[in-house]
A and B are shown apart, each in its own frame.
Chain A
Amino acid sequence: MAEPIYTVASDSETTGEDRSAPIFPEIAVGIDIGTSQCSIAFWNGSQVELLKNTRNQKIMRSYVTFKDDTPSGGVINELSHEYDMLSGAAIFNMKRLIGRVDTDPVVHASKSLPFLVQTLDIGVRPFVAALVNNVWRSTTPEEVLAIFLVELKMMAEHQLKRPIRNVVLTIPVSFSRFQLTRVERACAMAGLQVRLMPEPTAVALLYAQQQQQQAVHENMGSGSEKIALIFNMGAGYCDVAVSATGGGVSQIKALAGSPIGGEDLLQNTMKYLLPNVESIFSHRGIDEIRRMGLLRVATQDAIHKLSFQSSVQIDVNLGNGSKLCKVLSREEFEMVNSEVFEKCKNLVNQCLHDARVGIDDLSDVVVVGGCSNIPKIRSLLMQKSKKKALYEGMNPLEAAVSGAALEGAVASGIADPFGSLDLLSIQATPLAIGIRADGNSFIPIIPKNTTMPARKELVFTTVKDNQSEALIVVYEGEETRAEENHLLGYFKIIGIPPAPKGLPEITICMDIDSSNMLRVLAGARLPGAHHPATPFMEVKMPTVDDGHGWCAEALHGKYGAAMDLVSLQKKS
Chain B
Amino acid sequence: MSKAKLRSSLLAVLRCNTAHSTAINFPNVSNSALSSQLPSNCISLSQLPSTAECFRLWRSSRCECLNNLRFPSRVFSSRSAEASDLKLRCWNCGAAAPTSVVFLVCDSCRSIQPLDQSVDYFQIFGLEKKYEIGDVNLESQYKDWQKKLHPDLVHSKSDREREYAAEQSARVIDAYRTLSKPLSRAIYILKLEGLDVNEEDTISEPELLNEIMEIREAVEDASGSQELNQIQSQMQEKLNHWSNTFAKALRNRNFDDAISSIQRMTYYERVKEEITKKL
Contact = CB atoms under 8 A, between A and B. Distances in A.
A425 B140 CA distance: 14
B75 interface: no
B55 A455 contact: yes
Nearest to B144: A247
Contact of A572 (B137, B155, B201): B201
Contacts of A457: 50-52, 55
Nearest to B69: A531
Contacts of A244: 139
Contacts, number: 102
B247 interface: no
B275 to A, nearest CB: 12
B169 interface: yes
B170 A531 contact: no
A23 B152 CA distance: 9
A533 interface: no
B66 interface: yes
B223 interface: no
A424 B155 contact: no
A342 interface: no
Main secondary structure of the interface of B (DSSP, over half): helix
Could you say which interface size class chain A belongs to?
A: 35 or more
A570 B198 contact: yes
Contacts of B152: 410-411, 424-425, 514
A249 B142 CA distance: 10
Nearest to B155: A23
A23 B169 CA distance: 18
A22 to B, nearest CB: 5
Contacts of B59: 511, 521, 538
B198 A572 contact: yes
A244 B276 CA distance: 21
B173 A507 contact: no
Given A22-B156, A247-B144, A453 B51 contact: no
A514 B51 contact: no
Interface in A498-513: 507, 509, 511, 513
Given A225-B140, A455-B52, A572-B198, A410 B156 contact: no
A353 interface: yes
A451 B173 contact: yes
Contact of A453 (B69, B139, B169, B200): B169
Interface in B107-145: 137, 139-140, 142-144
A248 B143 CA distance: 9
Given A247-B140, A247-B147, A412 B155 contact: yes
Interface in B135-166: 137, 139-140, 142-144, 146-147, 150-153, 155-157, 162, 165-166
Given A22-B157, A457-B55, A509-B51, 8 more contacts: A246-B139, A246-B140, A411-B152, A412-B155, A413-B155, A453-B151, A457-B50, A507-B51
5 contacts: A411-B153, A453-B169, A513-B151, A514-B151, A572-B198
Interface of B: 20, 22, 50-52, 55-56, 58-59, 63, 66, 69, 137, 139-140, 142-144, 146-147, 150-153, 155-157, 162, 165-166, 169-170, 173, 177, 198, 200-201, 276
